[in-house]
């Protein structure tokens, strides 16, 4: 039996001695015997009639060769390069030189080294709690064994720890801050090792009550602030709506501007009522008012077109065209008397 690691090189021995009676041609053949008896043997490499044939087995193309290029020397051993786990099996060497025939079997086991080993912590790292350091290799042939050690502090595993070498678990109970440190796990089998590291940091328990109270207070403050913002937005929107309604009502109550015709009529009407109640005491003020300053419904004269009335008498305009009752307009004579 031969054991080798994956990726390595192995030599399968096959030596022989030829007797004087063996006069026939020399044949050396290597075959792989399948584990399933229903399948046929697979020829790997062969030496026959002074020639080597090594292209029988495609899975080992370029990886198998005779150790001695001339098997006639009595050495029919072969080398298999870059071993793979699929190369595990039973190999048989057959030497034939008529009338003699000899053979021998070799069991080859290709082992995979541990690889991609991971370390992690399962459980709470608070004082007084129980936790487990775990170690597992993603690759590696059985049987794998695991071993833990502490690299810092006392460099000894805690007294309450329990190691399972088959599963790679290191259990710890009622941990304390003294358990803190860096731990190393080594995974091993018959052909190699692999390791990983993990840091354990044991701390006092967290005050969960204070954390919950702080979270509740923060949530309430957030809700209050949100409600305040919503209230402010609604109030602002109502104020804007009220301003728009008030502005609309004011515009509806404002009367339209008076036309020039209505202005002239109101002016004439006011003069009419004034004239009706004239007395000698207030006649002087009206006599001094030029006639051409009274607005007209039909026309307005420019200052250059105002006529100069005779000082003795002034005739009243025809106000019937304006829809009004004719009135006498007082005038002032040369001697200052009212006419």
Give the domain CATH number at 177: 2.60.40.10
Q: Which of 123, 119, 124, 145 is nearest to 134 (CA)?
A: 119
Q: Which of 169, 200, 231 is the last residue of a domain?
A: 200
Same domain, 143 and 69: no
Strand-pairing partners, residue 90, are 33, 107
d(CA 190, CA 144): 8
pLDDT of 71-88, one tens digit each?
999 999 999 999 998 999
Q: Which residue has the tokens 């305040």?
A: 228
192-200 β-sheet, strand order: 145-150, 181-189, 192-200
Quote the pTM value: 0.52
What contacts 261, CB < 8 A, 6 or more positions away? 297
- pLDDT of res. 9: 94
Q: Which of 185, 200, 215 is the last residue of a domain?
A: 200
User: Domains in the chain: how many in total?
Assistant: 2
- pLDDT of res. 328: 55
- pLDDT of res. 98: 85
Is residue 95 a part of any domain in this protein?
A: yes
Same domain, 101 and 28: yes
Q: Which domain holds residue 96?
A: 2-111
Tokens representing residue 46 in the block: 């062969």
Same domain, 91 and 122: no
- pLDDT of res. 306: 47
d(CA 266, CA 273): 11
- pLDDT of res. 78: 96
- pLDDT of res. 229: 84
Q: Which residues of 159-180 are buried (b: 16+ CB within 10 A; e: fewer)?
A: eebebeeeebbbbbeebeeebb
Low-confidence ranges of the chain (pLDDT < 50): 260-317, 319-325
């Amino acid at each position: 039996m031969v054991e080798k690691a994956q990726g390595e090189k192995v030599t399968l021995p096959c030596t022989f001695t030829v007797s004087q009676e063996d006069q026939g041609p020399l044949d050396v053949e290597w075959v792989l015997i399948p584990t399933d008896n229903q399948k046929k043997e697979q020829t790997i490499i062969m030496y026959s009639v002074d020639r080597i044939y090594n292209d029988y087995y495609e899975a080992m193309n370029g990886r198998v060769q005779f150790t001695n290029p001339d098997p006639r020397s009595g050495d029919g051993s072969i080398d298999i390069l870059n071993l793979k786990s699929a190369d595990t099996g039973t190999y048989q060497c057959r030497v034939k030189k008529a009338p003699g025939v000899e053979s021998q079997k070799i069991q080859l086991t290709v082992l995979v080294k541990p690889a991609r080993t991971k370390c992690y912590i399962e459980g709470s790292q608070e004082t007084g709690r129980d936790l487990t350091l775990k170690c597992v290799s993603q690759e590696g042939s059985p049987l794998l064994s695991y071993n833990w050690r502490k690299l810092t502090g006392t460099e000894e595993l805690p007294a309450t720890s329990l190691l399972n070498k088959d599963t790679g678990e290191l259990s710890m109970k009622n941990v304390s801050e003294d358990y803190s440190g860096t731990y190393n796990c080594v995974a091993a089998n018959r052909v190699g090792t692999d390791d990983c590291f993990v840091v354990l940091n044991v701390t006092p328990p967290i005050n969960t009550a204070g954390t919950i109270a702080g979270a509740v207070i923060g949530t309430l403050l957030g809700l209050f602030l949100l409600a305040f913002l919503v209230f402010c937005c609604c109030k602002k929107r109502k104020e804007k709506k009220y301003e728009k309604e008030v502005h609309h009502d004011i515009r509806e109550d404002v009367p339209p501007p008076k036309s020039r015709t209505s202005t002239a009529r109101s002016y004439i009407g006011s003069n009419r009522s004034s004239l009706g109640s004239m007395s000698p005491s207030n006649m002087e003020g009206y006599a001094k008012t030029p006639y051409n300053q009274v607005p007209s419904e039909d026309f307005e004269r420019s200052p250059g077109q105002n006529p100069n009335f005779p000082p003795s008498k002034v005739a009243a305009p025809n106000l019937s065209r304006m829809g009004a009752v004719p009135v006498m307009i007082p005038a002032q004579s040369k001697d200052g008397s009212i006419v």
